[in-house]
A and B are shown apart, each in its own frame.
Chain A
Amino acid sequence: MNQILQGAWIIPVLPLLAFVIIGMFLHRWPKWAATVSILAIGLAMLYSLLVALEVFSAQPGEVFVMAVPWLNMPGLQVNMGILIDPLSTVMLLVVTIVALLVQVYSLGYMEGDPGFASYFAYQSIFAGSMLGLVLSSNFGQVFVFWELVGLCSYLLIGFWFERESAKEAAKKAFITNRVGDFGFLLGILFLAVLFGNLDYATLEARLANYQNLAVLIPIAFLLFAGPIGKSAQFPLHVWLPDAMEGPTPVSALIHAATMVAAGVYLLARAFFIFSAVPQAMLFIAAVGGFTALFAASIALVQDDIKRILAYSTLSQLGYMVMALGIGAMTAGMFHLMTHAFFKSLLFLGAGSVIHALNGEQNIWKMGGLAPKMPVTTWTFVIGALALAGIPPLSGFWSKDEILLGAYASGNMLLYGLGSIVAFMTAFYMFRLIFVAFFGSSKHDRHAHESKPVMTVPLLVLAVLSFGAGFVGSPLMGNVFAHYITAPGVLHHQPNVSIMAISSLLAMAGIALAWIIYQKQAISHLSLRRRWAGVYQLLYHKYYIDELYARLAAVFVDGTARVLEWVDLRIVNGAVNGLAYLTAWTGRTLRYTEDGQVQTYALYLFAGVVVILISALLVVYTALA
């Protein structure tokens, strides 16, 4: 077993190497750049398959760690290494498969773009960083790669950097992430101070014997700040919709399937810490559940196809976080995997549409695409069905696991919330489909199906969206849960009535969307007018962006004003004051020069008297 696993460090290294090669040599040969990049990720994927074969043929609890000491101080030891267990293997597979498909798709989507070579360089470094994050064996290394993927996100969101909106979105993403990372880093530092070691395995062992659980509470909350930022939970969700400024394959890879899932992955990795702090678990579940509902409500009224998908991602991430909060780590990771497949499928399909319509992203300006772009349309529908949770597609099994977990562990509020969100999800997805793909055509561009280099990944992902869920279903004995589990994770018996309820809710959502948008029995415009206030609130994303801008203005601007005052009054005042003091002294002392010789003689004798009396005092006190 060890041979293959020992070489597993090559998996992140290959794409990173590709980045270096492309960056240094291949800017003038874009085709070669793409080749190198795809080759690297392809090899990484093959190696990941090998690793998977090894891991899944062994016992579930086995963990392979290979590390070298990096920082060795008295009181703190930080290693650098890789950790391979079923959890990281699943992530490896997901990341490499989706990254490979997205890069192949990009060959077609980004064709003709002047930054073609840079694009693939960034894709490679992102893949390398993400894989490095997945394989990290300790918090310090995770943080390094965490920041790296944040950087790649910035580079890729702002890829079309001549656009003002893209630049702003990239900055927003990075800064918002940074806020979360600040808390994350504080949590890591806390751990370093408390335990002197950052390895997952070591920490897990030490925590088992640890008595003072109260000190873990702030650590858990601080560590959770990282996922709040990276996985775009409320209140740090604001960057994800704006991140749609980047090219669509980027959105598919980073902001749907992999990077935003890193937060969930961290929660799963550090599950042993979080599960020891019930208050933190409650908070995590609450944040996740709220985000799910919040984002779904906004998605109901958006007009931009990518924004709808973005809010959908936010909502699904909320599901995953909520699952981890209630202790159903297996369900959360399962949903992460299925979501990666069908969400990237949806995004790539949207990219196909946008590419065909020459950049149009407003769904009300689309329509009637089904006959012209059959592959895109029907793969998109498969993705939407999976997302809505219609059996027997993958999304149904994973979402159901989460709802089952909520119900069976007594969290009725979260169960109800999750069910409502499932209904809303189905509704807005099929609103999108009926308006954009069916109905009459509201555009005048000649749309045609995309090239095979773009449609083949769609097909592959469609197959995965359909079938990837079976590994976690009762039909295969829930093999997934067999491998992806940890102490303290909840598992429940499958409950047929829960399954039935969630399926019915999904179908009801689809039906309502059909009534309003396809059959148009109820006019959506009249609905919009009747609930104008609610519509405005949802359309403007609850005005959170405006609120943040105002807060930033108050605090940043306010601080700047205060500091300016300090600088002008206090610092300048001190300097000017010194000068003024000198001038004043001069002006005052001037009067001693009155031209009278006797005055000068007076000063002279006065000096002599002073010296005389001081000398006398010294002598007499010395003698006494």
Chain B
Amino acid sequence: MSMVTINDMAFVCIALFTILSALGMVLSRNIVHSALALIMTFIGVAMLFFHLDAGFLGLVQILVYAGAISVLIIFAIMLVMHGEPNQTNRFNPSLGTHLWGAYIALLMTAGLVAAIWFSGLPEVKGRTVEDAVGLLAELLLGKYVIAFEVAAVLLLLAVVGAIILARGVEEK
């Protein structure tokens, strides 16, 4: 067995953190706790990005996900919360659906893990790129400029749509 490096230890810690947060999010009965766990998961994922030498992406993750999206979610929770805090995020009342859901999820995970485990995937990280951001910029505004523009338009539409939906229909 080869040496276990700090790198690997780091990975294990981050991975565990992320998974536990995710589990916490799903299993919690209080929606605010779930939201918090979600934020922790996002941060975990960002740490993974850093571990993978995708610095820019990790920052974007923190900014957008852990910052903006999570806040958005918390606001929404605030607006729609009613009743006991402990009862806000219960599981599906139909036990059948719940168990079937768990079963399907388990099968899917097992299938994917089996597929991955039995494939021969590379073990060693290759060389890192020096100027990842620069390359990203070049691609984003060069080869994939259409995707960039469309994404921008999508964001605009989303904003407009969200405003309209959230404002509701005026009583005439």
Judge: A and B partners, yes or no.
Answer: yes
Please report A residues at the B interface, Cβ cutoff 8 Å.
596, 598-599, 602, 605-606, 608-609, 612-613, 616, 620
> Using Cβ atoms and an 8 Å threshold, which residues of chain A touch B114?
616
A sample of 18 inter-chain contacts (CB < 8 A) reads: A596-B94, A596-B97, A598-B97, A599-B97, A602-B97, A602-B104, A605-B104, A605-B105, A608-B108, A609-B107, A609-B108, A609-B111, A612-B108, A612-B115, A613-B107, A616-B111, A616-B114, A616-B115
Please give 12 more A-B residue pairs, beta carbons under 8 A apart, in addition to A605-B108, A606-B104, A612-B111: A596-B94, A596-B97, A598-B92, A598-B97, A602-B97, A602-B100, A602-B104, A608-B108, A609-B108, A612-B108, A613-B111, A616-B111
Q: Which of B94, B97, B111: most chain A Cβ within 10 A? A: B111
Report the separation of the CA atoms of residues A602 and B104 in the bound assembly, to the nearest whole angstrom: 8
Once bound together, how far apart are the Cα atoms of A100 and B104, in whole Å?
A: 100
Main secondary structure of the interface of B (DSSP, over half): helix
The digit string for B46-88, where 1 denotes a CB below 8 A from any CB of A, is 0000000000000000000000000000000000000000000
Q: In the complex, what residues of B have CB within 8 A of residue A613's CB?
A: 107, 111
- Asked if B161 is an interface residue, CB under 8 A from chain A, the answer is no
Q: How many angstroms from the CA of A608 to the CA of B115 in the assembled complex? A: 14
Q: Is the CB of A620 within 8 A of B104?
A: no
Question: Is B112 an interface residue, CB under 8 A from the partner?
Answer: yes
Closest B residue to A608 by beta carbon equals B108
User: Inside 8 A of B105's CB, which chain A residues have their CB?
Assistant: 605
Known: A599-B97, A602-B97, A616-B115. Is A609-B104 also a contact (CB below 8 A)?
A: yes
Q: Mark B117-153, 1 if CB is under 8 A from A, else 0.
A: 0100000000000000000000000000000000000
Q: How far is the CA of A616 from the CA of B112 in the complex (A)?
A: 9
B residues 92-114 touching A (CB-CB < 8 Å): 92, 94, 97, 100-101, 104-105, 107-108, 111-112, 114
Q: Which residues of A contact B107 (CB under 8 A)?
A: 609, 613
A197-B89 Cα distance, complex, nearest whole Å: 96
Tell me the smallest distance from the CB of A622 to a CB of chain B, in Å: 13
A contact face: mostly helix, strand, loop, or mixed = helix
Measured between alpha carbons, how far is A226 from B57 in the docked complex, in Å?
104
- Check if A612 sits within 8 Å of B97, measured CB to CB: no
**Residue pair B111, A602 in contact (C-beta under 8 Å):** no
User: B92 contacts which chain A residues (CB < 8 A)?
Assistant: 598
- Min CB distance B5 to A, Å, is 32
In the complex, A616→B111 CA distance in Å? 8
Q: How far is the CA of A602 from the CA of B103 in the complex (A)?
A: 10
State in angstroms the CA–CA spacing of A150 and B172 once bound together: 98
B108 x A598 contact (CB < 8 A): no
Contacts of A608 in B (CB 8 A): 108
Q: Please, which residues of chain B bring their CB within 8 A of the CB of A605? A: 104-105, 108
Alpha-carbon gap, A599 to B99, bound state (A): 12
Given known contacts A605-B105, A613-B111, is B118 in contact with A620 (CB within 8 Å)? yes
Q: Provide the bound-state CA to CA distance between A611 and B84, in Å.
A: 41
| Chain B nearest Cβ from A333, distance in angstroms | 95
- Cβ distance A51 to chain B, nearest Cβ, rounded Å: 99
Q: How far is the CB of B110 from chain A (nearest CB, A)?
A: 9
Q: How far is the CA of A599 from the CA of B112 in the complex (A)?
A: 22
Q: In the complex, A598 Cα to B92 Cα: how many Å?
A: 9
Known: A616-B114, A616-B115, A620-B118. A602 touches B101 (CB 8 A): yes
CB-defined contacts of B104 to chain A, threshold 8 Å: 602, 605-606, 609
Which 5 A/B pairs are nearest by Cβ-Cβ distance?
Answer: A612-B111, A609-B107, A605-B104, A609-B108, A606-B104
> In the complex, what distance in Å separates the CA atom of A610 from the CA atom of B108?
9
Contacts of A620 in B (CB 8 A): 118
Complex CA distance for A612 and B107, rounded to whole angstroms: 9
Q: When chains A and B are docked, how far (Å) is the Cα of A285 from the Cα of B92?
A: 96
Q: Across the two chains, which residue of chain B brings its CB closest to A612? A: B111
Complex CA distance for A605 and B102, rounded to whole angstroms: 11
CA A186 to CA B111, docked complex, whole Å: 71
Give, as a whole number of angstroms, the nearest-CB distance from A181 to chain B.
74
Q: With the chains together, A613 CA to B108 CA distance in Å?
A: 8
> How long is the Cα–Cα vector from A598 to B105 in the complex, in angstroms?
13
Chain B residues with CB below 8 A from A599, complex form: 97
Min CB–CB distance A23 → chain B (angstroms): 85
Bound: A608/B108 CA distance, A: 8
C-alpha gap A64/B149 in the complex (Å): 110
Cβ contacts under 8 Å, A602 to chain B: 97, 100-101, 104
Chain A residues near B118 (CB, 8 Å)? 620
Bound-complex Cα distance A221 to B111 (A):
78
Q: Give chain A nearest CB distance to B64 CB in angstroms.
A: 26
Q: How far is the CB of A540 from chain B (nearest CB, A)?
A: 80
> B103 to nearest A CB, angstroms?
9
Would you call A612 and B101 a contact (CB within 8 A)?
A: no
Q: Which of chain B's residues has its CB closest to A617's CB?
A: B111
Residues of B within 8 A of A616 (CB): 111, 114-115
Closest CB-CB distance, A606 to chain B, in whole Å?
A: 5
State in angstroms the CA–CA spacing of A599 and B97 once bound together.
Answer: 7
B112: min CB distance to chain A, Å: 7
Cα distance A606–B92 when bound, in Å?
Answer: 18
What is the CB-to-nearest-CB distance from B76 to chain A, in angstroms, rounded to a whole number? 18
Contacts of B100 in A (CB 8 A): 602, 606
What residue in chain A is nearest B114 (Cβ atoms)? A616
What CA separation (Å) do A605 and B100 show in the bound complex? 11
State the CA gap A397–B72 with chains docked (Å).
Answer: 131
Residues of A within 8 A of B111 (CB): 609, 612-613, 616
- Please report the C-alpha to C-alpha distance between residue A616 and residue B110 in the assembled complex, in whole angstroms: 11
Shortest beta-carbon distance from A433 to chain B in Å = 103
Known: A609-B108, A612-B108, A613-B107. A598 touches B115 (CB 8 A): no
Q: How near does chain B come to A616, taking the closest CB pair, in angstroms? A: 6
CB-CB nearest in chain A for B112? A612
| A620, B115: Cα distance in complex, Å | 9
> Quick one: closest A residue to B106, CB to CB?
A609
Closest CB in chain A relative to B150 CB, distance in Å: 26
Report Cα–Cα, A620/B105, bound state, in Å.
Answer: 22
Distance between A623 CB and nearest chain B CB, rounded to angstroms = 9
For B115, the chain A residues whose CB sits under 8 A away are: 612, 616
Tell me the smallest distance from the CB of B21 to a CB of chain A, in Å.
22
Q: A613 CA to B104 CA in the complex, in Å?
A: 12
A613 to B103, CA, bound (A): 14
In angstroms, Cα B105 to Cα A596, docked, is 18
Q: Closest Cβ of chain B: how far from A597's Cβ, in Å?
A: 11
Residues in A whose Cβ lies below 8 Å from that of B108: 605, 608-609, 612
C-alpha gap A307/B111 in the complex (Å)? 96
CA distance A612 to B110 in the complex (A): 10
Chain B residue nearest in CB terms to A607:
B104
User: Are A598 and B112 in contact, with the CB atoms below 8 A?
Assistant: no
A346 CB, min distance to chain B CBs, angstroms: 98
Name the residue among B94, B100, B104, B108 with the largest chain A CB count within 10 angstroms: B104
CB distance from A382 to the nearest CB of B (A): 107
